Amino acid sequence: NAGVTQTPKFQVLKTGQSMTLQCAQDMNHNSMYWYRQDPGMGLRLIYYSASEGTTDKGEVPNGYNVSRLNKREFSLRLESAAPSQTSVYFCASSDNMNTEAFFGQGTRLTVV
């Protein structure tokens, strides 16, 4: 069982470069999320998608865009990376009850 799969696992970017973080889930979940995790800040919601075709901003959306390509896939794009976007990014999914979210392994992103 793959669960939630994120790619890549590690990435180093130069300031101003762009990249897309990929996420796919095989649990037929409706809801998908992108979080960033920074020391002392916990998990902060960037964007979420309650169902295929819908996306909404979370707590820290600035500098990011998302696409819910289909029910399985939810991608996060950094158009012009900044050092403040250095973080660990987690994708998660849940069924209609959000009391249990399943997380991917994370993407460690460094922007230099």
Contact footprint for other proteins (CB under 8 A): 4, 33, 35, 40-45, 48, 50, 58, 90, 92, 96-106
Q: Return the number of the residue (65 or 105) whose C-beta is nearest other proteins.
A: 105
Closest approach of other proteins to the CB of residue 75, in Å: 17
Closer CB to other proteins, 17 or 106, in the complex? 106
Sheet holding 4-7, edge to edge: 4-7, 19-25, 74-78, 64-68
Where b means 16+ CB within 10 Å and e means fewer, 37-65 reads eeeeeebebbbbbbeeeebeebebbeebe
Distance of closest approach, residue 52 Cβ to other proteins, in angstroms: 16
- Residue 36 Cβ vs other proteins, minimum distance, rounded to whole Å: 11
Q: What's the rounded Cα separation, in Å, for the pair 92 and 88?
A: 13
**Nearer residue to other proteins within complex by CB, 4 or 111:** 4
**CB 80, min distance to other proteins, A:** 26
How far apart, in whole angstroms, are the C-alpha atoms of residue 53 and residue 66?
Answer: 11
Q: Give the nearer residue to other proteins in terms of CB position, either 87 or 104.
A: 104
**CA–CA separation, 33 and 31 (whole Å):** 7
